[in-house]
C-alpha cells in the first residue's frame, strides 16, 4: 500500500482505525506519506502515540509496517522503529482501550488503539519483529 486512501481503507476494513472518519483518516495518512513517500506498507492502523492518559499523548497517529520497521506520524513528530530491536511487544486491555507496549533498549512506546482488534495489531508487530 502506498496511497493515503489504501492505508486508510486497510485500517477501516480491519477496524483498527480508532473509529476515524474517512476524510480525517485520509488526511492523517497523507501527512504520513509526506514523511515516508518511498515506502510500500503491508499493514496500517491508527491510534494514539505515547499514550499516558486521556490528556497526555501525541494525538491521533498513523502507523504503518514495512518489513521490520514500524513508521509513525503523529501531530507532533514522526518516528521509525526497528522492530528487530524491540525487546518485547505486549498488549493489555484497559478501561479506555487496548494499550500496546513496545519495549526497546532506550525507550518504551505505548500506543492506545481504542477497542480495535488488538490481537491483529499485536500479531503484525510480532511477525515483523521476528518474535511471533
Q: Specify the 3-state DSSP secondary structure of 7.
A: helix
Between residues 53 and 28, the one the model is more confident about: 28
**Residue 63's domain is classified under what CATH number?**
2.30.29.30
pLDDT at 132 over 70: no
Other Cβ atoms within 10 Å of 113 Cβ, number: 25
Domain residues for the domain of 39 are 4-129
CB 112 within 8 A of CB 51: yes
Domain count for the chain: 1
Q: What is the pLDDT of residues 44-91, one digit of tens each?
A: 999 999 988 878 898 899 999 999 999 999 988 999 999 999 999 999
Amino acid at each position: 500500500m502506498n496511497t493515503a486512501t489504501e492505508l486508510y481503507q486497510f485500517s477501516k476494513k480491519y477496524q483498527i482505525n480508532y473509529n476515524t472518519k474517512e476524510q480525517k483518516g485520509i488526511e492523517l495518512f497523507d501527512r504520513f506519506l509526506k514523511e515516508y513517500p518511498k515506502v510500500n506498507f503491508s499493514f496500517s492502523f491508527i491510534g494514539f502515540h505515547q499514550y499516558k492518559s486521556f490528556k497526555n499523548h501525541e494525538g491521533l497517529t498513523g502507523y504503518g509496517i514495512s518489513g521490520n520497521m514500524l513508521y509513525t506520524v503523529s501531530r507532533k513528530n514522526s518516528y521509525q522503529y526497528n522492530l528487530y530491536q524491540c525487546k518485547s511487544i505486549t498488549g493489555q486491555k484497559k478501561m479506555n482501550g487496548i494499550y500496546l507496549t513496545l519495549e526497546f533498549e532506550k525507550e518504551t512506546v505505548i500506543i492506545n488503539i481504542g477497542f480495535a482488534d488488538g490481537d491483529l495489531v499485536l500479531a503484525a508487530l510480532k511477525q515483523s519483529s521476528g518474535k511471533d
